[in-house]
Amino acid sequence: MDPKQAVADIVRINEHIASFWGDGSWAPEGAAQLLSKSRLNWQVSLSRMLERWIEPPELDLQDAHLILAWANLGALLEGTLKWFLCVYYDNYSESPVRRKEKLIEPDELCFKRLVEFFSATVWTRSQSEELTPFADGIRNKRNAIHAYQDRKLGTHEEFRKAGVKYRSFLLDHEGQVPWPNEQYDYPVDIRKMHLDGTALQE
C-alpha cells in the first residue's frame, strides 16, 4: 500500500476517534473520566505529522529523521493502546496491571507494560505472535529519542512499512470498540477497506 495513503487513512481514523471519544460522554463513568482528560487531539496532530517522514531524508539528516520518525509512530501506537484500554476500562479494572497491589490506570502504563498486557490479555494467540514483535520493534526504535546510547534505528523503508502496518493495527482496534450511533460508525469507505481485506495489505 502507498505509505502516503496509509497516513491519510490514519489521520481520518484518529480524527474519527477523537471526535467521538474525546469528551468521554458516551462511555461508562470510569472510562469517561479517563477519556475526558486524554489528549486524543494530539493523536490527530501526531497522525498528520507522519507525512513529514515518508520521503527519504537528506543523507546528513538520516539519523535524526529516523529518530524523530520512530518517536512519532511510537507515540501514536502507545496512544492507541491506551485509548483502547480506556474505552474498555471496566473490563481492564477487573484484571488490571498493578504496582504494590494498587491498580495502575491505563493512561499511566508505560509502553512496555501496555504491550505485555495486550499480549497476555487482549490479543488472541495469533494476534500476539504478530503484533507483539511489531509493537516491541517500534518501541525499541522509539527509545532512540534518548539519543545518547547507541540503538538500532532500522531503515527508512522499515519505517514506511511500519506506518502502513500501523494503519491496519488502528483500523482493527477501532473496529473492536462499540459505536452506539451510526453517525459515529467509522466512514463507509474506511469500513469497506477493512472488510475487503485492504486493511491487511502491507
Is there a domain that residue 200 lies in?
A: no
Which pLDDT score, from 0 to 100, does residue 142 have?
Answer: 93
Q: In 3D, which of 176, 173, 164, 175 has the Cα closest to residue 200?
A: 164
Which pLDDT score, from 0 to 100, does residue 101 have?
Answer: 87
Which pTM value belongs to this model? 0.86
Q: Collect the ranges in the chain with pLDDT lower than 70.
A: 24-37, 147-150, 180-202
Is there a domain that residue 88 lies in?
A: yes
Cell of 39: 489528549
Q: Is 155 helix (H, G, I), strand (E, B) or coil?
A: coil
Is there a domain that residue 82 lies in?
A: yes
Which pLDDT score, from 0 to 100, does residue 196 have?
Answer: 43
Which pLDDT score, from 0 to 100, does residue 38 have?
Answer: 73
**Distance spanning both ends of the chain, measured CA to CA:** 6
Which pLDDT score, from 0 to 100, does residue 198 have?
Answer: 46
On whether the CB atoms of residues 166 and 10 are closer than 8 A, the answer is yes
Instruction: Say how many domains are in the chain.
Output: 1
Which pLDDT score, from 0 to 100, does residue 107 have?
Answer: 86
Is there a domain that residue 199 lies in?
A: no
Q: Which domain does 91 fall in, by range?
A: 3-194
Is there a domain that residue 35 lies in?
A: yes
